[in-house]
A = this chain, B = another copy of it.
Amino acid sequence: MQLLEDRIRQQGEIIGNDIVKVDMFLNHQIDVDLLCEIGKEFKRLFAGEEINKILTIEASGIGIACIAAQYFSVPVVFAKKGIHRNVGNDIYTGEVFSFTKNQNTQIGISKKYINANDKILIIDDFLANGAAVKGLIGICKQAGASVNGIGICIEKGFQPGGKELRSMGYHVESLAIIKSIDDGKIIFG
């Protein structure tokens, strides 16, 4: 998606050879106009898939998922991190290793909000090692729900998550794939 690649080039902050911060428009400050274009593009890319629910994980995924959901006319469910007293015990759980925070995080979704009839589109901001997406897939499996699509804003193509998920047969669409970061320059591929 040219619009997103352009924004990453213009406003992404490169740290070393493997981190691009997009705090300016995607996951701290949020450009909602850009999210609308992202949502429309996900709708176009997954037009052939039956989708009745969008699944994401707090926090950065929620805005993207909610805006996208308008184009699919489906509800959003977001996995919560940590143990929340108000969620109750009747939840599907999974564990996600965060490379950013260097720690495992427990995620959970109430059994009320995902079931065997669901045709799920998973949406997230980044895909690198795929830990978050795999955690969500694990929850879908527990619920017997089908994962009919995985929509990612920015995939780090030099990390294995995307390749692994595609080889497992999932329909993964990443709007911008970063092939490499060399000398402060982002190469898309």
List the interface of chain A (C-beta within 8 A of B).
Answer: 19, 21, 23-24, 28-33, 35-36, 58-59, 62-63, 65-67, 69-70, 73-78, 80-81, 84-87, 100-102, 109-110, 112-113
Contacts and interface: CB of A to CB of B under 8 A. Distances in A.
B75 A28 contact: no
A43 to B, nearest CB: 13
17 contacts: A23-B110, A28-B78, A28-B109, A28-B110, A28-B113, A29-B77, A30-B76, A30-B78, A32-B70, A32-B74, A32-B75, A35-B66, A62-B62, A63-B65, A63-B66, A67-B67, A84-B100
B85 A100 contact: yes
Contact of A32 (B69, B109, B113): B69
A75 B31 contact: yes
Contacts of A87: 23, 28
A134 B66 CA distance: 26
